[in-house]
Amino acid sequence: MVSQLASPAAESRRPRAGRRGARHRFVRNPRAIAGAAIMALFFTVALAAPRLAPFHPDVPHVLAILHGPAWPYLLGTDNLGRDVLSRIIVASRISLAIGVLSMLVSVVIGVLVGAPAGYFGGPADAVLMRLTDVVLAVPVFFLAVAFLALFGPSVPGLILIIGLTAWPPTARLVRAEFLSLRGRDFVAAARATGASSSRIITHHLLPNVVPVIVISATLRVGLAILTEAGLSFLGLGVQPPQPSWGNIIADGREYLATAWWVSLFPGLCVFLAVMAFNLVGDGLRDAFDPRLQI
């Protein structure tokens, strides 16, 4: 949200100046860099996954069932004697894919729906918002039950259903921002100078909505990974034996008191990933709007 300066023209110029300086500001931000480094580490691990895992993630070692973290099972073993570290490494690929890709799906759709709804108002708004309500009311697990049964276990399918059920909040947030911004002077000024609606939306309004979108996106990644964990709890997530952080945590829940490492370590990975996205997201937001940085 941009403050109201005296000059509408100066205000509408800000975003352009911001973009060039944004990268500059981002790399000067130590927290953002830390977050980006963690993200880079995760993505590298995810890409190299099978080769990095010390053991095959699916192979049971029946003599080492529920062993605590120790050599050679550095993060312990689960109830089938599978190495938790290996499973986490291989699972990173799937969980990060689910987190990031479903976030992209939901953010893109959310903006595509929320922006016109907030800007144009009227019947377009009414229709789009009712569509939003409809999607909000369909619980993700119904989709999951049907999808799992129809197409069998499929990670792209999960990404789709999590993304398709997660966009309404982003849409409503974007819409709310647009609603409150469109009455501002700089918009009227832009219209007066003959700018088209789409130009106004993309050049003047969207950059001001970046903070909201960024927060939404960073939260979405964690929420998506957790949604998959909840679905795994119900038996509808990534199907075993394929590991995901979510289903490792779900399967380990019976041993919370006795073999806490099974659920805790993948949980820590989710936490680190969410933190990293959060830091990067904050950095992006601050990069676009330097006056918020103190």
Partner 1 sequence: MSAYLVRRVLILIPLVFGVTAITFALLVLAPGNPVDFLVSPEERGVTDVAQLRHELGLDRPLPVQYASMMAELVTGRLRSFSDRRPTIQRVAEALPTTLILTATSLALTIALASPIAVVSALRPYSGVDHAATLFSLLGISLPTFWFALVLIFVFTEELGVLPASGLRPVGASGYSPAVIGPYLVMPTIVQALSILPVLVRYARSSLLDALDQDFVRVARSKGLAEQAVFLHHVVRNSLTPVLTITALLLPFLLSGSVVVETIFALPGIGRLAVNAALARDYPTVLTTTTVAGVLVALSNLGADLGYFYLDPRIRHG
Partner 2 sequence: MLTRRALLKIGAGLAAGVAGAPGRPRAAAAAQAPSQVVIAIWGLPVRMLGSNEAVFSYVNLMINDSLTAVDGQGNVSGRLAAQYPASPDGKTYLVTLRNAKFQDGTPVTAQDVKFSYEFYLHPKYPTTAPAFLEIAGGQEYKAGKASAVTGITVVNPRTVRFILNRPYPFFYEQIGTAAILPAHGLANVDMARLQEAPFARRPIGAGPYRLAEWRETESLTFEAFHDYWAGAPNLPRVVFKLIPEDATVLAELHAGNIDAGRILPEAYAQFQNDPRVTPLRVPGDTFYWFAPNLKLPIFQDVRVRQAMAYAINREEMLRALYRGLGTVCQSPVHPSLWQFDKQLKGYTYDPAKAKQLLAQAGWTPGSDGTAQKGGQPFKAKYAFLAGKDYQDQALLIQQYLRAVGISIDVQAVERGDFFSRYFTPGAPIELVGIAWFNLIFPPQAELEANFMSTGSTSQIIGYSNPKMDQLLQQVVLTRDRAAQKALYNQIQELVISDAPHILTIRPDVIWGVNKNFVLPSGVTSLRDFFGSLPRWKAR
Residue recorded with tokens 């509808």: 236
With CB under 8 A as the contact rule, the residue among 51, 62, 71, 137 that binds partner 1 is 137
Least distance to partner 1 from the beta carbon of 147, Å?
Answer: 8
Spatial separation of the C-alpha atoms in residues 95 and 221, rounded to whole Å: 10
- Give the separation between CA 105 and CA 166, rounded to whole angstroms: 9
Binding mask 226-265 for partner 2 (x = CB under 8 A): ---------xx--xxx---------x-xxxx-x-------
Q: Considering beta carbons, is residue 168 or 243 the nearer one to partner 2? A: 243
* Per CB under 8 A, 156 contacts partner 2: no
From residue 122 to residue 151, what is the string marking binding to partner 2 with x (rule CB under 8 A)? -----------------------x--xx--
207 lies in the binding site for partner 1 (CB under 8 A): no
Which one, 152 or 194, has the nearer CB to partner 1? Answer: 152
Interface residue with partner 2, options 58, 120, 154, 272 (CB under 8 A):
58
- CA distances in angstroms from 293 to 114, 152, 249, listed in the order given: 28, 48, 37
Residue 125 site contact among partner 2, partner 1, none (CB < 5 to 8 Å, cut-off depends on kind) = partner 1
Least distance to partner 2, CB of residue 142, Å = 13
Q: Which of residues 69-108 bind partner 2 (CB under 8 A)?
A: 79-81
Q: Pick the stretch among 12-20, 61-69, 100-108, 168-176 that binds partner 1 (CB under 8 A).
A: 168-176
Q: Which residues pair with 83 in a beta bridge?
A: 77
Q: For 93-161, give the DSSP string.
A: HHHHHHHHHHHHHHHHHHHHHHHHHHHH-HHHHHHHHHHHHHHHHS-HHHHHHHHHHHH-S-HHHHHHH
CA 239 to CA 151: how far, in whole Å? Answer: 12
Q: 222: which 2 tokens?
A: 């964690």
Between 66 and 275, name the residue whose CB sits nearer to partner 1.
Answer: 275
Sketch the per residue contact string, 5 through 34, with partner 1: x for CB under 8 A, - otherwise: x-----------------------------
Helix axes 140-151, 206-233, angle to 10 degrees: 60
User: Facing residues of 77 across strands?
Assistant: 83
One-character DSSP codes across 33-75: HHHHHHHHHHHHHHHHHHHH-SS-TT---GGGTTPPS-SSSTT
Q: Summarize as ranges the residues that interact with partner 2 (CB under 8 A).
A: 58-60, 62, 65-66, 79-81, 145, 148-149, 152-153, 235-236, 239-241, 251, 253-256, 258
